[in-house]
Amino acid sequence: MTIWGLAAIGGCSAGGALSPTGAVMPPAPVVMHTAPSLDQLIEAGWKAAGLKTADRADDGEFLRRVTLDLVGRTPALDETKEFLADTAPNKRARAVDLLLAGHEYAEHWSDLFGDLLFGADLKPNISKQYDPRAWLVRALDTNMRYDRLAHEVLTATGDLHDNGALGFLVARGKGGGGPEAVAGAAARIFLGLQIQCAQCHDHPYDPRWKQEDFYGLVAYFVRTKTKTEKMMGDKSLVVVDTNKGQALMRRPRTELDVVVAPRFLGYAVAERPGETRRQTFARATLASDLFAKSMVARTWAQLFGHGIVDPWDDLGGENDPKHPRVLVAVADSFKNAGYDIKWLLKTLVLSTAYARSSARRPGETDEGNLVATQGFARAGIRPLSPEQLFRSLLNETGAATMARRKQGEEAAQKRLAQALKEYVFVFGDDEMAEANTFDGSVPQALLLLNGELTNNGARVMEEGVLGRILASSRQPAQRLEDMFLAAYARRPSPDERSHFVGFLASRQGARTAYEDLYFALLTSTEAITNH
């Protein structure tokens, strides 16, 4: 994969750190005076790389993308109409504030943080006792600062029932593979390092990491013990830090275990009196420049579909120097903004790079488009996560309301949970895909073509979206426009308008003609991707 675009941006001379917001931690969301200098860095990078930049995305394109990215679904028909009609110059920033203020933001980002912290495949092991996602949802709802979130996750003790922050330790350690798995995950998530590859031998590709370095990190987690306690018949899991336990390393092809003392990426960190080993690790982690960088790199990758450092969890090594300026600048500003997660999201989605259109430039080759996308000068096209796709389809069809009306609240909930499970199963990467991508694309196509959600959702029903669209106007052209707005967050082009109005006329405006067209809209690539 060529990365010249990043290299060129890295070599640009513009700007240093983004202007910091000052010593006082600003309230969230933050004033946006940092954004222009991020934009200057990006624009200088485009110029230096000679990239042809795509136009600014129009309002519908922006709203659809930012709604998917911040709250995990496409905008509803009414939201789109309202946004398109709004003439305020700062309406994009206002829309972002509104999205970040809602509970859906916490729900969606707890999915992303949850998969990261607990691991998608580890979910079942812990959810039987307690779902730590509830803790994450609360943390995101109250906009817990990222440094505090990390500190809580890394140092949590006590009963899993009372403290969801323990989910990380329990899922990774107990459900996964002991202190080695916890140390590996902590280094990846909070430092952006893939040092766990050095567990069995020196890192095969990254000469910086020796096996001792990995076990030096493991040593921070070996004194943490879990025990099961029975309280009034209820089993609960309690985590405590003790002063016993050693990290034991075995070199390849030897039979002897060697005790390794705690070392943080090759350095001894002095333990403070009364500090547990995990607390020392958390302190060293939060003091590392990799802490903010890894969060920025990961969030960037989540919002843009590919990383400013790619992959985001390979920082500091050979991948890092390709794009240091933007990464360092945003990471510094994130730190200065008090590790405010909503500030980071807002800064990135209001940047000039995020606002690029995904439209092809006339006459541009596929390769040229790809190169522009890699340099963030054009938005890419990304598949939706199973949850994003499912929630979007619910939104575009009204299937949830229809199910409730037809079956009652309880039955509908059960049915929807079942349907979501199927989407996660068919569209998600399952545990078998750990090594590999499970490319189930034909089964995905079959589910969309012949599954219940898309087929029932495209029917004209009183409570459904298509039913409401048909009820609100008798004009085929108006109905068509609303169908496009509901499915795509845009109006049909003149060509599409005449083609599809013609189609509806050819079927005498029959109900089934609308259903067939809406089905085609809902299942088309434009509707099932983020672009």
Partner 1 sequence: MDNQISRRSLVRWGAASALGATVFDKPGWAADSPTPTGAASSCVLLYMAGGPSHIDTFDPKPGRPTGGEFKAIGTSVAGVQICEHLPRLAGHMKDLAIVRSLTSKEGNHDRARHLMHTGYPPQGGVDHPAFGSIVSEARDTRGMPGYVSIGGPGEDSGFLSAAHSPFPVRNASKPVRYLTPAKGIDAQRFDARLALWRSLETGFAGRRGGPYAQAQRDVREQAVGLMRSTGAGAFNLDGEPDKVKEAYGPSDFGQGCLMARRLVEASVPFVEVTLNGWDTHEDNFRRVKDLCASLDTGMSALIDDLSARGLLASTLLVWMGDFGRTPRINEKGGRDHFPACSSVVLAGGGIKGGQVVGATDADGAGVTDRPLTVPDLYRTIAQVLRINADRSRVAPSGRPIKTVNGGNVITELV
**Contacting positions for partner 1 (CB under 8 A):** 1, 112, 115-116, 120, 298, 301-302, 305-307, 310-313, 358-360, 365-367, 369-370, 380-383, 385, 429, 432-433, 435-447, 449-452, 455, 493, 495-496, 499-500, 503, 512, 516-517, 519-521, 523-526, 528-529, 531
Q: Between 91 and 360, whose beta carbon lies closer to partner 1?
A: 360
CB of 465 to partner 1, least distance (A): 17
Rank residues 258 and 520 by Cβ distance to partner 1 and give the closer one: 520
Q: Residue 138 is encoded by which pair of tokens?
A: 């609360």
Q: Number of helices (H) and strands (E) in the chain: give both, helices first.
A: 27, 7
Dihedral pair phi/psi, residue 99, rounded to 5°? -65, -45
> Least Å distance between CB 108 and partner 1?
12
The distance of closest approach from Cβ of residue 307 to partner 1 in the complex, given in angstroms and rounded to an integer, is 7
Cα 141 from Cα 132, distance rounded (Å): 14
CB of 263 to partner 1, least distance (A): 25
Shortest distance, position 530 Cβ to partner 1, whole Å: 9
Q: Which is nearer to partner 1, 298 or 342 (CB)?
A: 298
DSSP code per residue over 424-458: HHHHS--GGGGGS----HHHHHHHHHH-HHHHHHT
Identity of the residue, 141 or 526, whose beta carbon is nearer to partner 1 in the bound complex:
526
Pairing of strands 382-383, 247-250: unpaired
Closer residue to partner 1 in complex, CB, 20/443: 443
Which CB sits closer to partner 1, 336 or 369?
369
Given a contact cutoff of 8 angstroms between Cβ atoms, the answer to whether 360 and 369 are in contact is yes
Q: How far is the CB of 200 from partner 1 (least distance, A)?
A: 8
Q: Report yes or no: 383 and 57 within 8 Å, Cβ to Cβ.
A: no
Residues of 120-151 as b/e, b for ≥16 C-beta within 10 angstroms?
A: bbbbeebeebbbbbebbbebbbebbbbbebbb
> With respect to partner 1, which residue has the nearer C-beta, 268 or 381?
381
Structure tokens at 222: 């070996």
Virtual torsion, Cα 459, 462, 467, 468, nearest 10 deg: -150
Task: Tell me the C-alpha distance between 17 and 518, whole Å.
Answer: 48
Residue 452 or 462: the one with the smaller Cβ distance to partner 1 is 452
- Residue 314 Cβ, how far from partner 1 at the closest point, in Å? 10
Backbone angles phi, psi at 520, to 5 degrees: -65, -40
**CB 427 → partner 1: shortest distance, Å?**
11
**Structure token pair of residue 426:** 């068919």
- 260 forms beta bridges with 247
Separation CA 270–CA 324 (nearest Å): 30
Nearer to partner 1, 13 or 436 (CB): 436
**Residue ranges of E strands in 73-223:** 158-159
- Shortest spacing between CB 451 and partner 1, in angstroms: 6
